[in-house]
Amino acid sequence: MPGETIINPDVDNGLSVLIVEDEFLVAMDLETILEQGGHAVMSSVASVEAALKALEDGRPDVAVLDLNLRGQLVFPVAERLRSLNIPFVVASAYNDLDIPGGEVVADVENVGKPINERRLFDALRRAVPAA
Amino acid sequence: MDLDELYRLLRGAHVRAQGVVDTIRDPLLVLSSDFTVISANPAFYRTFETDRESTVDVKFHDLGNRQWDIPELRLLLEKVIPQSASVFDYEVRGTFPRVGYRTMLVSAQRLKHPDNGQQIILISITDATERRQREDEKDILIGELDHRIKNLLSITQALARQTGVEGRSAKEYRDTFLGRFEALARSLNIGSSKDASGLPELASAVMEPYLGGPSQVKIADGPEIALTPNQATALGLIMHELATNAIKYGAVSRPEGQVEICWEPKGDDHASMLQLRWRERGGPETSPPSTTGFGMRLIRFSAERELGGQAELAYLPEGLTATVDFPR
């Protein structure tokens, strides 16, 4: 709900989150949702390049990835996150992740779009072991 | 048994078959029980640009570049005679000699000669290349459309959630949200327009609600600047936020106040960058807001993230001046 403070009772300690989302309004929305849910946005970026750079500069607890970043697929970021052992969830309007190179996100939860707060928080909790 | 015999056989079944088989546009093959081609119809030779010599007495799996030599298809065909199974529209995609990449649908059926009990396989092949291509293109298009709709729903959801409720009545909330929603719709309309997707059109479209009568908003005669749909959305929302701010706190809150919107190419070659200026005059004295509302966040965020540029807001004594610089 707009303006209401949303406290996610399941998260005692807020997570540091990397947002990779090309649609700026959705990125803003994600930031607000996460912050109101008691999490911290480590970085919010719109491209593969910027995401890889952000991962050089810092280590988030978890990442939220859009799949298609202005025609560029997010897979290189997913691969880097895997190699760094950083869990992530996908937030994409695409239902079908069965695309070439998509193996790296095959077993990852897609919370879908439009974003539902509860579903996002649940997915983050499942993705992060014993947060 | 060859095709002639097949014709007789079908005639025997009181079907006027010969004309039918001859005019069948799809390729037909008659195979013996060991999958050797006994006969082929004209459509087969035509479709695969081949002849009788390289077809008859050749094993089905050895035809062409062995495109039909698919283990799964072999297994299916092996069941046709002993189990009277049939194959229906088995899809074979591959590059065929002379005719290139094709999608073929293979159907097979057992036929039994009524006199000598000899069993043969009738194979019909349908070229579904164009149909499949159309279907694939349609699927891609539908997928793309589905994605866009959901994206748009996400954006609308963001506007609804980000529009604050604190200190607002339900009506005020609704009006604020609908104002943003309308600005988004107008910007998208300009962004997707084939012939009017540029800057004067965007400014006129977004500011249209404020332009009627003795208007306090003036859009300068700037040059025609083409915008991408994403740039149009970002700029449209920025102008809308500035307008609502001007009505509430700025120049447009007073009858004598004025707003001027102008733009010009900038950068080294006067082409690589664009600067949009929003200049208020004659309004109440302005000062930076104590809290950063969604409107101001939206202006900065869209200028930086979406346009790859920056927005500067100067609270001058005569009114607010906003400058948005971004690469074209």
Residue A32 to residue B159, Cβ atoms within 8 A: no
Go through the domains of chain B in sequence order and give each one's CATH number: 3-127 (3.30.450.20), 163-327 (3.30.565.10)
Token pair listed for A111: 């919370």
Residue B146 to residue A93, Cβ atoms within 8 A: yes
Chain A residues with CB under 8 Å of B305 CB are 24, 27, 46
Average pLDDT of the residues of chain A:
86
B313: confidence class by pLDDT, cuts 50, 70, 90 = very high
C-alpha distance from B328 to closest chain A C-alpha (Å): 17
Chain B residues with CB under 8 Å of A3 CB are 164-166
Q: Tell me which amino acid residue B134 is.
A: R
Question: What mean pLDDT do residues A92-116 have?
Answer: 82
The 10s digit of each residue's pLDDT in B2-36 is 667 766 666 555 444 445 556 778 899 888 888 89
- Percent share of chain A, pLDDT over 70: 86
Residue B151 to residue A113, Cβ atoms within 8 A: yes
Interface residue B302 vs chain A (CB under 8 A): yes
Token pair listed for A13: 């300690």
Alpha-carbon distance of B34 to B15, in angstroms, equals 28
The 10s digit of each residue's pLDDT in B119-151 is 888 899 988 988 888 988 898 888 888 888 998
Question: What mean pLDDT do residues A56-68 have?
Answer: 94
C-alpha distance from A22 to closest chain B C-alpha (Å): 8
Question: What mean pLDDT do residues A12-38 have?
Answer: 90
Which residue among B153, B297, B301 places its CB closest to the CB of A114?
B153
Q: Can you give chain A as a three-state secondary structure string?
A: CCCCCCCCCCCCCCCEEEEECCCHHHHHHHHHHHHHCCCEEEEEECCHHHHHHHHHHCCCCEEEECCEECCEECHHHHHHHHHCCCCEEECCCCCCCCCCCHHHHCCCCECCCCCCHHHHHHHHHHHCCCC
Residues B47, B53, B59: CA angle, nearest 5 degrees: 80
Alpha-carbon distance of A18 to A61, in angstroms, equals 8
Is A69's pLDDT higher than 50?
Answer: yes
C-alpha distance from A85 to closest chain B C-alpha (Å): 28
Interface of A with B (CB under 8 A): 1-4, 23-29, 32-33, 46, 68, 93-94, 96, 112-115
Interface residue B181 vs chain A (CB under 8 A): no
Residue B162 to residue A29, Cβ atoms within 8 A: yes
Is A11's pLDDT higher than 50?
Answer: no
Chain B residues with CB under 8 Å of A54 CB are none
Token pair listed for A119: 């579903």
| More confident: B80 or B313 | B313
Residue A93 to residue B163, Cβ atoms within 8 A: no
Residue B154 to residue A115, Cβ atoms within 8 A: yes
Go through the domains of chain A in sequence order and give each one's CATH number: 16-97+105-127 (3.40.50.2300)
The 10s digit of each residue's pLDDT in B260-309 is 999 999 877 777 899 999 999 988 888 887 777 888 889 998 999 899 99
pLDDT (0 to 100) of residue B7: 66
A121: confidence class by pLDDT, cuts 50, 70, 90 = very high
Q: How far is CA A26 from the centre of its chain?
A: 12
Interface residue B150 vs chain A (CB under 8 A): yes
| Residue to substitute from A6, A19, A24, interface B, most B β-carbons within 10 A | A24
According to DSSP, the β-strands at B273-281 and A16-20 are: unpaired
Alpha-carbon distance of B319 to A50, in angstroms, equals 37
